[in-house]
Amino acid sequence: MSEISEEYINCVVNKVAAQNNLKECKHSQLNFESIAQNYFGVLIPLVLNAKNDGEIVKIDIVLKLAPTNEQYRVSGALTQFFLREIFVYSVILEKYRILQRDFPQSLQFLMPKSYYVCKEYCNEAIAMQNMCVDGYKPYTNKMFLDLHHITLSLKSLAKFHALSFILKENDHKLYEESLKVCLPLTALNNKRFMDILANRLEKALQKLENTKYVPVLQNLKQNLVNIVESVSSNVQRTCICHGDIWKENILYKYKDDKPISACIIDYQTARRSSPAFDTLYLITTSTNTDLRHLHYKELLSTYYETFTSVLSKAGLNSEIEYSRVMFDSDLKVVGPACFIIANTALWLSNGLQKEGHVRSKNPWNTEEEEVEAVNRYKSAIIGIIEDFVGYGYLTFNCIC
């Protein structure tokens, strides 16, 4: 990742100030060694001290900046990721804020405020509200979420999906414009990602060789493109989905050590897809098989009841827009694709990807760590296959 200079940061801050009518703006930032870095950008927390209409104001923001190094631009994917996220923060979420302004607080979707965006090539930037200052933080305690965290996450996701349906009803023109930006996941639009998915299935086959799971994995790999494209082409309903909704992209606020609120972040993969895919993907990647055995049906109901409540508050009938029967039907359609993409995420999160542009943040360093990482990965994948077979989403002989 190329270094972001102080001069460049000053330039962006000046633009943020101009955009928000801030005068005499000064900023302070964390030391560079403390700056967070995600897979596709650099995150820099800043504090702005300025005047607005004569009043002294303090604004905590996070700058999300695109890397300028050309090696990260070779596929064109990074440019598209940033342009998509810029559109989501500056257009879609701002519209959602208006659509839900009369909703009770309990049904409102929480979203960071956008202060400034820049679409200029290699200078892409988003200046957004720093939710961490308001007490939100990532879940880092364990590899998987507990019941309280996943419940809050699903409620937040349901609100996000419901607002897409409400947008379609209230501003169809903007909804159609959004779909042109948030393209579905297809081989035509995402060939590189399809190649990555196939490669990670091959790695799963290697790790699970000589097991009963090989036919399942082989079938998924052979039919990969059709399976993945089905999440937008063969389902009952689609909407604007997150596309990569798992615990790594959610922040939580706590009271007395218990989570009380969830904030979804990172919209670079927002796309037209099935709400059922986002829902199943979140549960699959962010919970372990023990929790799913006890609470899977409950979690689905939590999501759908929240989705229904938000639609109802906007005067829409969920039975018409997206019934529970439709939702359950779509879960079976998207199940195989959900497994394929979850397999890639779990390979990455377990520290097993040490090559390529997108590498594990915490790769293993010793043989003992490698064995432990592989065993964690295998246990998670086997648990998902067994669960999906139980749900009717996969069989040991063919794809359902």
CA distance 357 to 363: 14
78: pLDDT strictly greater than 90: no
398: pLDDT strictly greater than 90: no
Domains 1-129 and 132-400 share a fold: no
Per-residue pLDDT tens over the stretch 301-316: 999 999 999 999 999 9
CA nearest to 170, candidates 162, 160, 180, 159: 162
**Hey, what are 10's tokens?**
């000053």
1: pLDDT strictly greater than 60: no
pTM across the whole model: 0.93
91: pLDDT strictly greater than 60: yes
What is the predicted pLDDT for the residue at 71?
A: 59
> In this structure, how many other beta carbons lie within 10 angstroms of the beta carbon of residue 316?
19
Q: How confident is the model over 318-344, as a mean pLDDT?
A: 98
CA distance 109 to 106: 9
Least confident of 185-189, 231-235, 350-354, 359-363: 359-363
- Residue 66 binned pLDDT confidence (cut-offs 50, 70, 90): confident
Per-residue pLDDT tens over the stretch 336-372: 999 999 999 999 888 887 665 555 566 677 888 889 9
Instruction: Fill in the amino acid letter for 201.
Output: L
CA distance readout (Å), 164 to 88, 187, 261, 273, 314:
12, 25, 21, 11, 12
Q: Supply the CATH classification number for the domain 1-129.
A: 3.30.200
Per-residue pLDDT tens over the stretch 258-308: 999 999 999 999 999 999 999 999 999 999 999 999 999 999 999 999 999
| Residue with token string 């609100």 | 159
32: pLDDT strictly greater than 70: no
- In three-state secondary structure terms, 383 is helix
Provide the percentage of residues in the chain whose pLDDT is more than 90.
78
**Higher pLDDT residue, 349 or 157?**
157
Per-residue pLDDT tens over the stretch 125-150: 999 999 999 999 999 888 899 999 99
CATH assignment of 132-400, among 1.10.287, 1.20.120, 2.60.120, 3.90.1200: 3.90.1200
Q: Give the sheet arrangement for strand 258-264, strand by strand.
A: 136-138, 250-255, 258-264
Per residue, the 3-state secondary structure of 184-219, as one string, reads CCCCCCCHHHHHHHHHHHHHHHHHCCCCCCHHHHHH
- Domain ranges for the chain, please list them: 1-129, 132-400
Residue 70 near residue 112, CB atoms below 8 Å: no
39: pLDDT strictly greater than 70: no
- Residue 34 binned pLDDT confidence (cut-offs 50, 70, 90): very low
Q: Give me the chain's average pLDDT, please.
A: 91
What is the distance, to the nearest Å, from the Cα of residue 338 to the centroid of all Cα atoms in its chain? 13
State residue 143 phi and psi, 5-degree precision. Answer: -70, -30
Q: Which residues in 162-200 are b (16+ Cβ under 10 Å) and which e?
A: bbbbbbbebeeeebeebbebbbbbbeeebeebbebbbeb
Provide the residue count of the chain. Answer: 400
CA distance readout (Å), 93 to 113, 241, 273, 347:
9, 12, 17, 31
**156 exposed, middle or buried (CB, 10 Å; 0-12, 13-18, 19+)?**
buried
What is the predicted pLDDT for the residue at 73?
A: 55
